[in-house]
Amino acid sequence: MSFDAWLADFRQEAAERGISDATLDAALTGIKPVERVVALDRGQPEFLQTFTVYLSRRVTAERVGQGRALLQEHAALLDEVERQHGVPKSVLVAFWGLETHYGKVMGNLNIPVSLATLAYDGRRSKFFRSQLLDALRIIDAGHVSAAGMTGSWAGAMGHMQFMPSTFRAHAVDGDGDGRIDLWQSLPDAMHS
């Protein structure tokens, strides 16, 4: 089946599941599969490097120092998150550092396009099709625009690299502005 035929079938399913035409148009009109996304899926460093090499490239003295500074800089927020959710602030900041280098590397690929590429590719199509539906639901809810939903090749997004299903299950409005923004709002990201 061609990508265009697959996309038409998917779009019909998404509409039947309640995704608005406006969201479908914004996220899916004119998209094509991205070969780089498939290549990255086949060459994940987590699986090509030993754990020691992988960890040594990500846990550096510089990154640990940045984490310590950010623990102090965001102490009030991190203390609140620890009190409310029981996640130790040091663990939260460590994940933040590993996942996105404290928000410096959140990915710049369009999430709907990446997920459509992987859902069409076939290796884990059921999983990525489900993630794509969840991404469209997030857009439909008004948390982010289709163009603004960026992240990793696999669909992970924001400061903590949530997959769309994780966003829908756990993301919260930590800053009280009425929407969940895991990209620009540190309170939303940390409370989530």
Catalytic residues: 99
Instruction: Write the secondary structure of 41-88 as one string of H (helix), E (strand) and C (coil).
Output: HHCCHHHHCCHHHHHHHHCCHHHHHHHHHHHHHCHHHHHHHHHHHCCC
**What is the Cα gyration radius of the chain?**
18
C-alpha–C-alpha distance, residues 16 and 74, integer Å = 43
Q: How would DSSP label each residue in 103-127?
A: TT----EEHHHHHHHHHHHSTTHHH
164 contact partners, CB below 8 Å, separation of at least 6: 111, 115, 131, 132, 134, 135, 137, 138, 155, 157
What is the residue type of 176?
Answer: G
